[in-house]
Structure 1
Amino acid sequence: MIKTYFFLLVAVAFETFGSACLQASQQFTKLWPTVGVAVGFIGGLYFFTLVLKVLPLGITYALWSGIGMVLIAGVGWLLFNQRLDAPALIGIGLILAGIMVINLFSRSHFH
């Protein structure tokens, strides 16, 4: 099971990289960030499918998208100077709380 969560984190890392490259590509007008988009999203989807061998789709997608959203919000802040206001930070906190509830209390995250 630890390997499954490791693959999930790798999928999220690829997806976060792809999303950051999407911003940097400036609508696909810069070559290397555009290549990064493809690498990031293809790699993310590949590892996402490995996780689906163990975890159900709904739980996997909730974790993948929630963790990815939190990470890309941080990347946007660090790399692109995109600031978040209090309601955005509260919303991100609620998403993190939801991820914790799923992992700590739900019995539905196993096949």
Structure 2
Amino acid sequence: MPWLYLAIAIVSEVVATSALKSAEGFTRLVPSLLVIVGYALAFYFLSLTLRDISVGVAYAVWSGAGIALVSLIGWVLYNQALGAGELAGMGFIVFGVILLNIFSKGAH
């Protein structure tokens, strides 16, 4: 279950972060609510994750996956270009997260 909780936390955070642009400084109701609810869910499910997965590993997976997914959403929804440097950087992040999961004991 901790990996499912982490996945829910990541998706919630990505939805919230992606909605920030549309919230326009919290002047638009629906995107603003997505931001608030998304971050609340993200931190709740991250807290459940930390019962079983070490904070370093959980945060590395959260941030790595979040960076990649938010960048992809920015590219798809907001037409934000991703150059070779950005793509390479995200590739290194994903590779680092994989290494952490392979070599981590996952202990508290």
Could you say which TM-score interval applies, normalised by the shorter chain? Answer: over 0.9
**1:77 alignment partner, one of 66, 75, 78:** 75
**1:25 alignment partner, one of 11, 23, 26:** 23
* Farther off after superposition, 41-50 or 55-64: 55-64
Q: What is aligned with 1:51?
A: 49
| Displacement of 1:55 | 1.0
Q: Which runs of 4+ in 1 moved over 3 A?
A: none
| Displacement of 1:58 | 1.4
- TM-score normalised over the length of structure 1: 0.93
Residue identity in the other structure for 2:43:
L
Q: Give aligned-pair identity as a percent.
A: 36
Listed as ranges, the matches of 1:92-107 within 5 Å are 92-107=90-105
Which structure 2 segments of 5+ residues have no match?
none
After superposition, the C-alpha distances for 1:40-93 in whole angstroms (9 at most, x for unaligned) are: 100000000000001111111111111111111111111111111100000000
The alignment yields a C-alpha RMSD, in angstroms, of: 0.9
SS in structure 2 opposite 1:82? Answer: coil
- TM-score normalised over the length of structure 2: 0.95
